[in-house]
Structure formats: structure tokens, C-alpha cells
Amino acid sequence: MQVAIYSRGLDTEQGAHLGFLLEELTRYDVSILIYKPLLSQFSEETGRYPSLVPFLVSDDLPAGLDCLISLGGDGTLLDTVTLVRDKKIPVLGVNFGRLGFLAGISRDELASAVEALVNRTYIIDKRTLIHLDANKPLFGDTPFALNEFAIHKRDTSPMIKVHAYLNGEFLNSYWADGLIVSTATGSTGYNMSCNGPILFPDSSSFVITPVAPHNLNVRSVVVPDNNVISFEVESRADLFICALDARREIVDKHIQLAVRKEQFCVHLVRLSENTFLSTLRTKLAWGLDKRN
């Protein structure tokens, strides 16, 4: 078995958990690739394992890799999506952050997670991605996102007007700070923060949610993810923000933008007991009444 380990960066306490993970994987004779900056940051922990193979970019990951382990929060896991791309490498997220909707395995579950990987007793959830098309090159060779695509005004700009179309048919004009098109997976992210609905990950839908709309009757709308959603932006400012997950670019208001379902999926690893419902109850404290 061969796995890779990725993280944006860990603190000293989290480095101890990295050492424990390396120890567990080595105990099962697992071949390990490790993100090069992480290898350098924790040379004391990693120096005990001379067989570790460093990697830096997506092309360094072999297509037959059994799993990529993401150490961090949901943002770190979103980074891994740009690494695995269409290679169908399963991604296991270990939560070192706060909420952890995507990185659903706690650091206390590292031993059981490694055992599940080795014995292949885990479950793979296939998650839809959203793809961005534009008449100018944007986001290099990774024009896709797991959570959402967003249009947003710049910090000091007045609100923008976004005309949205479904398969070329006019949907609505949004006077707002911005507009989000979220995948079902991303419905618990930025979309939820803007009062958008929560969708089950397998619901095959996108959610279109305005950010701070200037119309009281404007609400989120859920559409099938086989639609192509296109946009025209009006603004007194010449530039606005175009974002895919945590990545963003500043673009001209005359640019042509459209989003659609990506042709490939991301494969997320979860332990059998970690269902979406249990995640909602735990992370959002559903079913808990502090009056009792």
C-alpha cells in the first residue's frame, strides 16, 4: 500500500500527531509520500523514516496511489482537490481545524483510520465538483472547485448587479455584494453562512445564493447540476472578484463566465460510522437543548 500525506503546515502539538501517524503507517509497512515543506518543517519527526518520498506538485503523485491523507481543516482538504484532480485518488481528511465538515476524522481517530485504510474497511463518497468556463484563462489548470464558485464585489466597491441564466434562459438579476453557486458538498460552507439551504451530498444539485442581496424577496434557489449557469456582471467599478473555493482572481466586468458540473469527481474517505447526518448533528449541535 502507498499513501501520501499533505498539510499546509502544522504547529508543534500537531507535529506530534504527524509523528504518530508516520509510526502507525510504518507499522503496517505502508509506503509513504510526504509533502516536501512538511518534511522540512518536522525534520525531527520525519528524520526517523529515511524511506519517506517527498512530493511537491500534482504530477509527483502516482495515479495508483491508495490514499492522500490531508492533515488540517476543511481548507486544507480543499487544497488537496487541486492535487488529486482527476486521478481518482481517495482523500482522507483528518481535522486539525475547528469545524471539519469535510475533514471529518478527528486526530483521536488516527489509529482506527490507518487500520481502516490498511484493511480497506472504509467507505468512499463521490463528491461532485463545479467547473468554471470563461472567455479568458482563469485559475490555470485547476478551474474547478469542491465547495463553490463565487462572484463578489471588491472590498471598497459598491454592490454589483449579476444577471444569471440557466442554459441560456434568464433566471434573475441580483443586486448584491455577490453571488454563490454551491455544490451539494459546499452547501454547508459559504452558502450556509449566507442563509442558503443545506443539501445532502448525493442530491445532484447546485444552490444559487446571493450575498447580502438588496431585495427582500430574493432567496436561494436549488437547481439540478446538469444545468449550465452563466453570468453577466454590471458594476460601477471595472473589476470584481471571481473565486473557486479559497482561490480567487480579480477580473474585468466584461468577462464571460459560466459554471457546470465537472466531468470527474473527488473521492472522500470516511469511516463507516461517520455519516452525513451524524456530522450535521455533531457540528451544528442539532438535537441539543441547553435548557435541559
According to DSSP, the residues that pair with 123 across neighbouring strands are 270
What contacts 137, CB < 8 A, 6 or more positions away? none
Residue 23: its H or E element: helix 12-27
CA dist., res. 67 & res. 71, Å (int): 13
Q: Which of 11, 59, 74, 86 is catalytic?
A: 74
Residue identified by cell 482506527 is 112
Is 66 considered catalytic here? no
Rounded distance between C-alpha atoms, residue 39 and residue 108, angstroms: 22
CA–CA gap between residue 116 and residue 271 (Å, rounded):
7
Contacts with 66 (C-beta within 8 Å, 6 or more apart), sequence order: 1, 2, 3, 89, 90, 117
Q: Catalytic positions, please?
A: 74
